[in-house]
Amino acid sequence: MASRRNVIKTIGISAGAFLAPEILHASSDVKETQFSFCLNTSTIMGQKPGLKGYLDIAAKAGYDGVELWIRDIQEYLSSGNSLSELKKYISDSGLRFENAIGFAPWMVDDDEKRKAGFQQMEKEMELLAELGCTRIAAPAAGVNAPLDLFKAGERYKSLLDLGRKTGVMPQLEFWGAFPYFHHLGQVLMVAAVADDPDARILPDVYHLFRGGSGYDGLKMLNGNLIEIFHMNDFVDTIPREKQEDKDRVYPGDGAAPMKQILHDIRNSGGKKVLSLELFNQDYWKQDALQVARTGLSKMKKLVGEI
């Protein structure tokens, strides 16, 4: 187990993993970020188009990639469809399978539940590897008490080892309304304790707001730390502490400082996948293709303005 002294040393050694390149090098050395656009299928899950429907809609709308949910893949396969057929369908769609959304309880304190969580994660990683996906979200699912972030960092290190074994790397995710793992500061500490060059975090416009992180912390991050960034927006008509996932709106339609956010992400360098993740029930009542197209158009417009 890492001692606090060793972790402090680790944070010092690995500061370069988090500090923005403009702090460490001349600004002329910063490579321009390359943005690509992705659809998280939560955005249109209310219309229930099915797994192939998600892929068809994302492709027709003009996205570069897609984030699928593990449960949808499992449901598709349990209905008698084959893994090879799905892999071909994804390939034929022209979309990159950028990331998968799952909820294995890998971070929990209970030893037996955590062991089961790692076993679940390994099976899901192996499934995703077969489909050509190289990332999986790694939230603090199942945690029901305050976290020891040092222990959480050690568990994330073990999860990264599992990711290297399977070829599918865990993206450390935090939820703004989740009492035990909701702040950018917490996720950065867990990543620092892991002390691993493959550590990655998965921020979200809404969660940064909802959990009280704000957005200035993004200026401190090296581009390699973030590969996928969840895009959405929040309204200013509901108090922060009362906002829910369903209150998210299209990027640019709310009160988030989108230009600042995208400017800081761009300046950090590296390739970034901007993935539209919404749970807006009003959008779920609309035509799924139109919702997907609208979201993509709004993301591209915002990127074009920075």
What distances in angstroms separate CA 176 from CA 65, 217, 280, one per listed residue? 25, 15, 17
Is residue 179 situated within a structural domain?
yes
How far is the C-alpha of 249 from the C-alpha of 255, rounded, in Å? 10
- Residue 30 CB partners (closer than 8 Å, separation 6+): 21, 22, 267, 268, 269
CA distance from start to end of the chain:
44
pLDDT at residue 7 tops 80:
no
Is residue 225 situated within a structural domain?
yes
pLDDT at residue 139 tops 60:
yes
**C-alpha closest to that of 100 among 65, 56, 133, 140:** 133
pLDDT at residue 46 tops 50:
yes
Label the pairing between strands 201-202 and 135-138: unpaired
pTM of the model: 0.90
What distances in angstroms separate CA 301 from CA 22, 28, 133, 296, one per listed residue? 26, 26, 28, 9
How far is the C-alpha of 292 from the C-alpha of 295, rounded, in Å? 5
How far is the C-alpha of 179 from the C-alpha of 147, rounded, in Å? 10
* 3-state secondary structure at position 67: strand
Is residue 1 situated within a structural domain?
no
How far is the C-alpha of 240 from the C-alpha of 178, rounded, in Å? 13
Contact present, 52 and 285 (Cβ < 8 Å) = no
pLDDT at residue 149 tops 90:
yes
Sign of CA dihedral 254, 139, 162, 92: negative
How far is the C-alpha of 8 from the C-alpha of 14, rounded, in Å? 10
**Percent over 90 (pLDDT), the chain:** 86
Contact present, 69 and 114 (Cβ < 8 Å) = no
Residue that has been written with the tokens 């959008």 in this structure: 283
- The whole-number average pLDDT for the span 290-300 is 99
Is residue 7 situated within a structural domain?
no
Task: Tell me what pLDDT residue 33 has.
Answer: 67
Interhelix angle 4-13/184-194, nearest 10 degrees: 100
How far is the C-alpha of 245 from the C-alpha of 115, rounded, in Å? 29
How far is the C-alpha of 166 from the C-alpha of 276, rounded, in Å? 27
Domain with 77 in it = 31-304
Least confident of 6-20, 222-236, 261-275: 6-20
Is residue 152 situated within a structural domain?
yes
Task: Tell me what pLDDT residue 117 has.
Answer: 99
Is residue 255 situated within a structural domain?
yes
Is residue 23 situated within a structural domain?
no
Per-residue DSSP letters for 16-40? GGTS-HHHHS-GGGPPPPEEEEEEE
Chain segment 167-181, per-residue pLDDT in tens: 999 999 999 999 999
Is residue 114 situated within a structural domain?
yes
Question: Which phi and psi angles does 229 have, rounded to 5°?
Answer: -130, 125
CA dihedral 62, 68, 73, 76 (to 10 degrees): -40
How far is the C-alpha of 73 from the C-alpha of 25, rounded, in Å? 43
CATH of the domain at 89: 3.20.20.150
Chain segment 98-133, per-residue pLDDT in tens: 999 999 999 999 999 999 999 999 999 999 999 999
How many independent structural domains does the chain possess?
1
